[in-house]
Amino acid sequence: MALGLLLGQVRWSPRTLTLETWWQATPLDAFMTASATSAYRTMPSLKQIKLIAAGGLGNQLFQYAAARSIALRADAELAIDTRHYASQAQDGPMRFCIDTYPIQARIVGYPAGLWGPNSIVRRVTRRLITERPGRKYVEPRLGFCDSALSIRNSMIISGWFHSEKYFVEHADLIRKELDLGMLASRQVEGNRTELDGMISVHVRRGDYLSLKEFQMKDPHAYYSRAMRYMKSQFPDARFVIFSDDVTWCRKQPLFERCEFFESLLPSDHRYDLYAMSQCSHHIVANSSFSWWGAWWNWRPDKIVIAPEYWFGEKSSRDFDIVPDHWIVM
């Protein structure tokens, strides 16, 4: 038991780990399994899909949706490895946070010290025992890769999985498990009626300013065209700007007649994402964050506009990142 606590921390979200998982775990995972208590017992599959999560909230949502769908097709348990979040501030924008949604996955955490996620002992053990090349699937490129759909055995997977095609067959289930409304603050709930009928416009700056390869091609032209199109469809259109730099947006002539959403919890993007999803229509940035804000909108008549070029000269359609029924411009 003490050794299990040393090696790692395992918890269910929302289920807890059961003893039976021992038989399909790796040697180190088995020790971690022994340290867990079982408040809710269920017979898991003998197979396991382990996702190595990375990135911010939007990326985590894509990764969970794809991994959950892969696990369902393989009739396997899903585990989410949080090794990349050990050094992230617990209240920072890049922290691991999808376990606050009612997801169906076992969350694998790590202690500090000798058995920390990036320790020499841990890296050697992965290389030689638990994560040998034959047990790993790494997404070969950005965009949809149908090779992931053929996974049927236990596998450790990693990648961005930025396409609805990875999980479209389980889309309704994914929407229920990634229930953004569960965490809605009173601020968002109070503005739900006001947001209904509005058109969200997401402007991402922040880290993109220093990452030229992720910058949108001619953003001013894109937002101008998109807003003109929305006005042609809805003459009384009201736009609300969502951004990680609202101060900058307020100074732009293009947005002078828009409203601006400012969260009471700027360090917690989950509330902004939920608020965005409550708008009727969407103009998204080249960002997984606003992609999810638009996708989670249940309205069958919604209009979503996305940039034609997602990163620089790279086409959104080539990545399969934009669903077929969205408009690109």
- How large is the average pLDDT for residues 316-325? 89
Q: Judge whether residue 289 has pLDDT over 60.
A: yes
CA torsion sign, 299 to 305 to 307 to 308?
positive
Higher local confidence (pLDDT), 277 or 36: 277
- How large is the average pLDDT for residues 272-291? 95
Per-residue pLDDT reduced to its tens digit, 194-231: 888 999 999 998 776 666 777 788 899 999 999 999 99
Q: In this predicted structure, what is the pLDDT of residue 145?
A: 93
Per-residue pLDDT reduced to its tens digit, 143-176: 899 999 999 899 999 999 999 999 999 999 999 9
Provide, rounded to the nearest whole percent, the portion of the chain with pLDDT above 70.
Answer: 79
- How large is the average pLDDT for residues 240-266? 91
Q: In this predicted structure, what is the pLDDT of residue 11?
A: 47
Q: Which domain-ending residue is among 132, 159, 177? A: 177
Q: Give the Cα separation of 164 and 273 in Å (integer).
A: 18
Q: Are residues 74 and 102 part of one domain?
A: yes
Nearest of 158, 151, 134, 135 to residue 73 by alpha carbon: 151
Q: Tell the residue number behind the tokens 């007649």, with chain if given.
A: 257
Q: Are residues 203 and 126 part of one domain?
A: no
Per-residue pLDDT reduced to its tens digit, 48-97: 999 999 999 999 999 999 999 999 999 999 999 999 998 776 766 788 99
- Which pair of tokens denotes residue 217? 């091609």
Q: In this predicted structure, what is the pLDDT of residue 324?
A: 92
Q: Are residues 197 and 111 part of one domain?
A: no
Q: Are residues 97 and 245 part of one domain?
A: no
Q: Are residues 193 and 168 part of one domain?
A: no
Q: Are residues 292 and 155 part of one domain?
A: no
Q: In this predicted structure, what is the pLDDT of residue 31?
A: 38
Q: Judge whether residue 313 has pLDDT over 80.
A: no
Q: Is 183 in contact with 270 (CB distance < 8 Å)? A: yes
Higher local confidence (pLDDT), 123 or 61: 61
Q: In this predicted structure, what is the pLDDT of residue 187?
A: 53
Q: In this predicted structure, what is the pLDDT of residue 113?
A: 80
Q: Are residues 217 and 166 part of one domain?
A: no
Query: What is the domain range of residue 190?
Result: 186-328
Q: How confident is the model at residue 186 (pLDDT cuts 50, 70, 90)?
A: low
Q: Are residues 57 and 6 part of one domain?
A: yes
Which residues contact residue 89 at a Cβ distance below 8 angstroms, ignoring those fewer than 6 apart? 95
Q: Are residues 292 and 218 part of one domain?
A: yes
Amino acid at 233: Q
- How large is the average pLDDT for residues 115-142? 88
Q: Which domain-ending residue is among 153, 177, 201? A: 177
Q: In this predicted structure, what is the pLDDT of residue 179?
A: 87
Per-residue pLDDT reduced to its tens digit, 266-280: 677 888 999 999 999
Higher local confidence (pLDDT), 317 or 324: 324
CA torsion sign, 209 to 213 to 218 to 224?
negative
Q: Judge whether residue 35 has pLDDT over 70.
A: no
Q: Are residues 161 and 252 part of one domain?
A: no
Q: Which domain-ending residue is among 123, 154, 177? A: 177
Q: Tell the residue number behind the tokens 């949080």, with chain if given.
A: 82
Q: Judge whether residue 125 has pLDDT over 90.
A: no
- Which pair of tokens denotes residue 113? 């010290």
Q: Are residues 268 and 206 part of one domain?
A: yes
**Mean pLDDT over all residues of the chain?**
82
Amino acid at 141: R
Please count the structural domains in the chain.
2
Q: How confident is the model at residue 26 (pLDDT cuts 50, 70, 90)?
A: very low
Q: Judge whether residue 36 has pLDDT over 60.
A: no
Q: Are residues 133 and 201 part of one domain?
A: no
Higher local confidence (pLDDT), 116 or 284: 284
- How large is the average pLDDT for residues 239-251? 95
